[in-house]
Structure 1
Amino acid sequence: MIASACQQAADRAFLIALALPLVGLAFAVFWNLRTPDAKPDEGEVFRDPESGAFFQGPEPGVLPERDSRGELAFRPLSYTPWPVEAAEAQEGERIRVDVGPISRRSPRTFVFDRLLSQPSQILSVTLPRPVGIVFEEDKRKGRAKICGFVPGSNADKQAKVAKLSQQQCPRVGDVLRACTCTTFVFPTRSLLGAQPPVRTIIMYGADGQTWAKVATALKKGDKSDGAVTLVLERPLS
């Protein structure tokens, strides 16, 4: 009887030890997948209807900027799109770039402030892969800039055509501010295995990033993913 009671106690202890981590895991999954309590109108949490992602505002009462379609405008910070405060609507350049799942990309608005001390222009150029642009690191200022083109590449050809047609194209000396790249985005429910990760084009923000990280982002993507869009800042003097 004593041995049987001891065995039952040991079995209960084993089941409790097994169940507690599972309960903790279930709670963690629930917490990560929950819908934020705040409503978009409260100025604290905002939902991007295109991606379904929720974004936390910097402080209560601060509303995000929306473009003419009612969609959120973003500043790209590394791989993260960060909503822009509506109060900043008069600052920076707004550029529309196609991003989203490979099969259904759509134009979204991205905001860029000028970084260069001299007069400059912020522009976007789109090139098929492989692009053929040679970048170098400006170690003193912590930026990546164009130093040349691979002979015969798409960028080289576009630059030659632009001399005759005034077409917008990359130039030596342009500073890289952002670029599109390919990554896998996990839909909210994919954590439970309901949906697989989706191959997605995103905007990578190069500001404040190390050269190693920028170089990695520039390499992310295949020819089958389509063209690459670069956002550049060009000195005008």
Structure 2
Amino acid sequence: MHSALATASPHLNFLLLPPHSTTATALPCAPIRSSPVQSQHLQAQGSNAPFLCCKAGIASRRARSCKQARMQMHALRGGLQVSGLCFDAACQQQADKAFLIALVLPLVFGGLAILYILRPPPKEALEKGSVFRDPKTGAFFEAPEGESPLKDQKGELAFRPISYLPWPVPEDYEGTRLRVAVGERSSKEMRTFVFNKLRPDGELLLVTLPRPLGIVFEYDERRKQAIVVDLVEGSYADQRRKVAGLNQRLQECVLPGDVLRAVSCTNFVYPTNALFGAKAPERHIVLYGADKQKWSSIRGALKKGDVKDGEVSLVVERRRT
């Protein structure tokens, strides 16, 4: 004759049958008496009162089933420590304190980092000339010892665009100087940019076109260059090519085979007071340098901008014929 073993759980009641058993009879179980605090805890855990099996019934079930019930009761008592919920004022006070610390500390360290970055350069470096400032943008640059930056006829700094950043060049830097309109969208100014030639028979040209451009580029992985391969029929670039061909002024258009050296795009510039929320970021037209840049970055720069931002300036290098 086979007997049935009954085991009770706080989450479900089930029967444990011995091997080859075909019938089972549930044995009555009695609830444990618990204090009001324990009862509230058990209700918060979403479970019924735990059950311990009665001593009545088959003797073989007592040791295992009653031991399991006691272990389950201990697990329920410790549930308050892992649930993440507070049921008293002291626990809630500790949770609020931890939240404030986690919120305030990153803000304090972030503010200190911003103040450190925006600190003015040493006065000695400014007087010596190793650190100089661009009055138009307010940016500071540091020159190697014994070198001076290149300036244009107006006495303003001349730049070489590298990605989205304009970098000063030394006085002996050789290249073609081009004047490109950059700056805040509502008050753009002409600044001087210098480009060296990629090939001896190359010619650097500045072309301005409205959006959308209608230019098809192909990226050369080996040389890290974006090359013009076609113009979309009827686009602004195609119309400019046809007009320039009639007037024999091909310098004012983009042609297949041209290498993209730089392109103007719209970028958000954050003034100092904008970092603290006192002023909204400004839309600036910047010149993106495409030399040795990844295709994903060049493609992103070509997409940055709207029709309301004005015409796009493209610097291309063309083989001289």
Q: Is the TM value for this pair above 0.5?
A: yes
Instruction: Give the equivalent residue in structure 2 for 1:7.
Output: none
5+ residue gaps, structure 2, are 1-98
Describe the shift of the 1:174–1:84 C-alpha distance in structure 2 as closer, same or farther (beyond 3 A): same
Instruction: Decide which of 187, 191, 194 is 1:108's aligned counterpart.
Output: 191
SS of the residue 1:160 aligns to: helix
Instruction: Decide which of 188, 191, 210 is 2:275's aligned counterpart.
Output: 191
Which consecutive segments of 4 or more residues in structure 1 shift more than 6 A? 14-20
Aligned residue pairs, count: 222
Q: 1:33–1:189: 8 Å Cα contact kept in structure 2?
A: no
From the two aligned structures, give the one with the greater strand fraction.
Answer: 1
Describe the shift of the 1:19–1:68 C-alpha distance in structure 2 as closer, same or farther (beyond 3 A): same
Describe the shift of the 1:62–1:157 C-alpha distance in structure 2 as closer, same or farther (beyond 3 A): same
Q: Does 1:122 align with 2:208?
A: no
Instruction: Give the equivalent residue in structure 2 for 1:98.
Output: 181
Q: Does 1:79 align with 2:164?
A: yes
Deviation at 1:186, TM superposition (A): 0.6
Instruction: Decide which of 306, 310, 314 is 1:226's aligned counterpart.
Output: 310
Deviation at 1:131, TM superposition (A): 0.9
Deviation at 1:188, TM superposition (A): 2.1
Q: 1:180–1:204: 8 Å Cα contact kept in structure 2?
A: yes
Deviation at 1:41, TM superposition (A): 4.6
Instruction: Decide which of 113, 119, 133 is 2:215's aligned counterpart.
Output: 133
The superposition leaves residues 86-137 of structure 1 with CA deviations (integer Å, 9 ceiling, x where unpaired) of 132xx10000000001000000000100012x41101110001111111111
Q: 2:223–2:292: 8 Å Cα contact kept in structure 1?
A: no
Q: 1:43–1:60: 8 Å Cα contact kept in structure 2?
A: no
Q: Does 1:144 align with 2:234?
A: no
Highest RCO, 1 vs 2 (Cα 8 Å, sep ≥ 6): 1
Describe the shift of the 1:165–1:28 C-alpha distance in structure 2 as closer, same or farther (beyond 3 A): same
> What amino acid sits opposite 2:181 in the alignment?
D
> What amino acid sits opposite 1:166 in the alignment?
Q
The superposition leaves residues 48-91 of structure 1 with CA deviations (integer Å, 9 ceiling, x where unpaired) of 1111111222x233211111111110000001100011132xx1
Describe the shift of the 1:172–1:28 C-alpha distance in structure 2 as closer, same or farther (beyond 3 A): same
Instruction: Decide which of 144, 151, 154 is 1:66's aligned counterpart.
Output: 151
Relative to the length of structure 1, the TM-score reads 0.86
Deviation at 1:25, TM superposition (A): 3.8
In structure 1, C-alpha distance between the alignment counterparts of 2:281 and 2:204, rounded to whole Å = 33
Describe the shift of the 1:33–1:120 C-alpha distance in structure 2 as closer, same or farther (beyond 3 A): same
Q: Does 1:202 align with 2:282?
A: no
The sequence identity of aligned pairs, in percent, is 53
In structure 2, C-alpha distance between the alignment counterparts of 1:22 and 1:122, rounded to whole Å = 48
Q: 1:42–1:61: 8 Å Cα contact kept in structure 2?
A: no
> What amino acid sits opposite 2:223 in the alignment?
K
After superposition, the CA RMSD in angstroms is 2.3
Q: 2:181–2:188: 8 Å Cα contact kept in structure 1?
A: yes
Deviation at 1:194, TM superposition (A): 2.2
